[in-house]
Homo-oligomer: A and B are copies of this chain.
Amino acid sequence: MEIKHTITFLPSNRQVIVAPGTNLIKAARDAGLHVNASCGGAGVCGKCRVIVERGDVDGGRSEKLSPVEYASGYRQACVASVSGDLTVRIPQESGISGGALATMVPERHRARMHVFEVDSLKEEGIFAPPVEKFCLELTPPSAVDNRADVGRMLQGLADQYDLHRMVTGLSVLRKIRGVMRENDFLITVTVGRPVNELFKSHIINVQSGCWSSRNFALAIDIGTTTVYGQLLDVNTGKVLIEEGDYNSQISYGEDVISRIMYAERPEGLLRMSELVVGTINGIIAKLIERPVPPYGLTEQPITIDEINSITIAANTTMTHLFLGLEPENIRRAPYVPVSTFFPPLRASDLGLNLPPHTLALLYPAVSSYVGGDIVAGVMGSGMYRTELLTLYIDIGTNAEIVIGNRDWLVCAACSAGPAFEGGGITHGMRAATGAIEDFSLNPQTYEPMNLTIGNKPPIGICGSGLLIIVASLFENGLLNQAGKFNAIECPRLRQGRNGREFVLAWEQDAGVDHDITINEVDIENFIRAKAAIFAGAKTLIEEVGLQMSDLEQVILAGAFGSYIDLDCAMAVGLLPEFDPAKVVYVGNGSLMGARMSGLSNHIRKDVVEVVRKMTSFELSEVVSFKDQYVASMFLPHTDMNLFPRIAKRLMSSFADDVE
């Protein structure tokens, strides 16, 4: 008889039966549970610590665990395998919580928030949605006019709306006879428009009666970590509801490279595709189930059949995995995606729980690492039609940078590493409940003030918190320009396993059973990340013969971009020094772009030109980048002339010390 073991996971109390030797992360996946594994289960990030409360595992020991932790049951799940029945607790910092799904631009940045202006699009006459509905009152057939039903409809569209060059698909052919006669030849025709008027329009649906006032669409942003969706009223441009969820692929690794590697396994691509399709289907179900606040003509519940388009923006890897395109060459030099443009598809062909007539419209990408999410941000933020010389930055696991204006655009992806999402930082975590997101330091006592998401006892540090912590330690003289702790007397400063470390929260104040610290290795990882971004932007702008000081506008996108403290970002040299009045926040630029394309066919058309215009730089191929990067590996930079304000502040604080 085959031997099997039962694993019970806490706190969820889920059980799974597995064979001996099963990896503990695999067992958690099988139970449908998430264990953080930034490194994709490679045993190096140390994020996947769990507590074995009953029974024991083979392996699970690692240098990431202290002897005390090991003795108290902590194991590193990715290197532990099952050898008997177990009860395993997934501690809060290793799992996921709902808090990270808040990506709204915070109150303090709202004044500089980019507002998507439906009315201005309407005024400009470019508010023509990709899918439109037209009511037709047709004359019934007679002996003198017995043309076919489809011919009658096409004539009606030509006569009543000056619409020509129409193609009718099989599903419309199959229902039009009944539809026409159900309501005395009053019908509603749903037309999918091409991006070029020369091409044909597709009649994707016909309904009996007049329904043109009800035309709904979905906008979706597939992030590596999170997926967001919006239900749109296409006639008004309004967002009716928004929903978000974790990308279910997250159990298979936190970054795109882990996902690609999984997709390369047998059936792996299918699995990756099914997972993200499942996440989107879950969001669609939630969007449709939730009652829309009553307004206008949409007081009747919206049904799934009334969704005529779904516009999707995502990075290149996520787009590939969603569509089931082989992503292998995205991760291997010379980094070749399968495609950067995607035709309109049937949403139902992609496994989405949407009716057969719903069009799926995918944002085009520029390259393997400048994806549709960034293109969507460039469109949604209006960067593609501004005269101002603009720097657009979206900081996630990778940071993408676009520089230019309506005449030219250059772009690049910077391998910043996962520091800003909590990766590579000893007590780093995503922006979830208990994460330190704001911070200050008493300049005399060096006593810290930790502000956490949800105001819970701190359990780790998220990206925005990390930036503020490093900036505060630096500006208060605890850190030197090289990112090393100065020899300052301070009870919170001590020698740790990874160089010297600063205790942000003692165990008794924390929501976890250990001190929360930041050490010199963490800070080095942070500096590498910020240096990559700054050097990337500086390289790009200099490649086109300009200087950082020429920038007229800075657009910050993404969750981290929305929460970023500008002063701190300039103090550590993540961003160049500039007037804060030049900053615009767009929040989730990808989702905003998806929404705009879902509402304006003109933007769908423009995006083709914009993508062709976006010159992508492979920074590793640009000779000057390496020098720029090394020069940026200081706080804020080796060339203090680039940071006159912070230089002045440091000088004055030095002067204070001398006094």
Could you tell me the distance between the alpha carbons of A345 and B150 in the complex, rounded to whole angstroms? 16
Chain A residues touching B, range: 35 or more
Does the CB pair A336–B148 fall under 8 Å? yes
Q: Which residues of B contact A200 (CB under 8 A)?
A: 199
Interface flag for A349 (CB, 8 Å): yes
Does the CB pair B339–A150 fall under 8 Å? yes
Does the CB pair B340–A178 fall under 8 Å? no
Show 14 residue pairs from A and B whose CB-CB distance is below 8 angstroms, ordered by the A residue.
Answer: A141-B329, A143-B334, A146-B334, A146-B336, A146-B618, A149-B339, A169-B343, A170-B323, A170-B324, A170-B343, A170-B350, A177-B329, A198-B199, A199-B200
Does the CB pair B618–A143 fall under 8 Å? yes
Partner of A177, one of B174, B328, B342, B350: B328
A interface with B by C-beta (< 8 Å): 141-143, 145-151, 167-170, 173-174, 176-178, 198-200, 323-326, 328-329, 333-343, 345, 349-350, 367-368, 618, 621
Does the CB pair B151–A340 fall under 8 Å? yes
Q: Which residues of B contact A167 (CB under 8 A)?
A: 343
CB distance from A211 to the nearest CB of B (A): 21
Does the CB pair B170–A349 fall under 8 Å? yes
Could you tell me the distance between the alpha carbons of A339 and B167 in the complex, rounded to whole angstroms? 12
The verdict on A173 contacting B338 (CB below 8 Å), with A618-B143, A621-B143 known, is yes
The verdict on A146 contacting B367 (CB below 8 Å), with A174-B325, A334-B141 known, is yes
The verdict on A177 contacting B345 (CB below 8 Å), with A143-B333, A148-B336 known, is no
Name 7 extra pairs, CB < 8 A, besides A173-B323, A176-B338.
Answer: A143-B618, A148-B340, A148-B367, A149-B336, A170-B324, A173-B339, A177-B338
Does the CB pair B325–A177 fall under 8 Å? yes
Could you tell me the distance between the alpha carbons of A141 and B618 in the complex, rounded to whole angstroms? 14
Q: Which residues of B contact A334 (CB under 8 A)?
A: 141-143, 145-146
Could you tell me the distance between the alpha carbons of A562 and B174 in the complex, rounded to whole angstroms? 36
Closest B residue to A174 using CB positions: B324
Closest B residue to A345 using CB positions: B170
CB distance from A440 to the nearest CB of B (A): 46
CB distance from A146 to the nearest CB of B (A): 4
Partner of A339, one of B168, B328, B345: B168
Q: Which residues of B contact A324 (CB under 8 A)?
A: 170, 174
Interface centre among A142, A338, A341, A343 (most CB of B within 10 A): A338
Could you tell me the distance between the alpha carbons of A618 and B142 in the complex, rounded to whole angstroms? 12
Q: Which residues of B contact A174 (CB under 8 A)?
A: 323-326
Q: Which residues of B contact A150 (CB under 8 A)?
A: 338-341
Could you tell me the distance between the alpha carbons of A151 and B329 in the complex, rounded to whole angstroms? 14
Q: Which residues of B contact A325 (CB under 8 A)?
A: 173-174, 177
Could you tell me the distance between the alpha carbons of A146 and B350 in the complex, rounded to whole angstroms? 27
Q: Which residues of B contact A176 (CB under 8 A)?
A: 338-339
Does the CB pair A339–B151 fall under 8 Å? yes
Q: Which residues of B contact A349 (CB under 8 A)?
A: 170
CB distance from A524 to the nearest CB of B (A): 29
CB distance from A86 to the nearest CB of B (A): 40
Does the CB pair B149–A338 fall under 8 Å? yes
- Closest 5 pairs between A and B when the two form their complex, measured CB to CB: A150-B339, A146-B334, A177-B326, A148-B340, A141-B336
Does the CB pair B170–A336 fall under 8 Å? no
Closest B residue to A350 using CB positions: B170
CB distance from A445 to the nearest CB of B (A): 54
Closest B residue to A181 using CB positions: B329
Q: Which residues of B contact A142 (CB under 8 A)?
A: 334
CB distance from A17 to the nearest CB of B (A): 35
Interface centre among A328, A329, A339, A345 (most CB of B within 10 A): A339
Could you tell me the distance between the alpha carbons of A335 and B328 in the complex, rounded to whole angstroms? 57
Could you tell me the distance between the alpha carbons of A149 and B325 in the complex, rounded to whole angstroms? 11
Q: Which residues of B contact A342 (CB under 8 A)?
A: 173
Does the CB pair B199–A149 fall under 8 Å? no
CB distance from A536 to the nearest CB of B (A): 18
Q: Which residues of B contact A146 (CB under 8 A)?
A: 334-336, 367-368, 618
CB distance from A382 to the nearest CB of B (A): 27
Closest B residue to A167 using CB positions: B343
Could you tell me the distance between the alpha carbons of A141 and B211 in the complex, rounded to whole angstroms? 50
Q: Which residues of B contact A621 (CB under 8 A)?
A: 143
Could you tell me the distance between the alpha carbons of A345 and B167 in the complex, rounded to whole angstroms? 11
Q: Which residues of B contact A339 (CB under 8 A)?
A: 148-151, 168, 173, 176
Does the CB pair A336–B147 fall under 8 Å? yes
Could you tell me the distance between the alpha carbons of A326 and B345 in the complex, rounded to whole angstroms? 26
Q: Which residues of B contact A368 (CB under 8 A)?
A: 146
Could you tell me the distance between the alpha carbons of A178 and B325 in the complex, rounded to whole angstroms? 10
Q: Which residues of B contact A168 (CB under 8 A)?
A: 339, 343
CB distance from A208 to the nearest CB of B (A): 14
Could you tell me the distance between the alpha carbons of A586 and B45 in the complex, rounded to whole angstroms? 77
Q: Which residues of B contact A169 (CB under 8 A)?
A: 343
Does the CB pair A149–B323 fall under 8 Å? no
Closest B residue to A269 using CB positions: B174
Q: Which residues of B contact A341 (CB under 8 A)?
A: 148, 150-151
Could you tell me the distance between the alpha carbons of A618 and B345 in the complex, rounded to whole angstroms? 42
Closest B residue to A621 using CB positions: B143
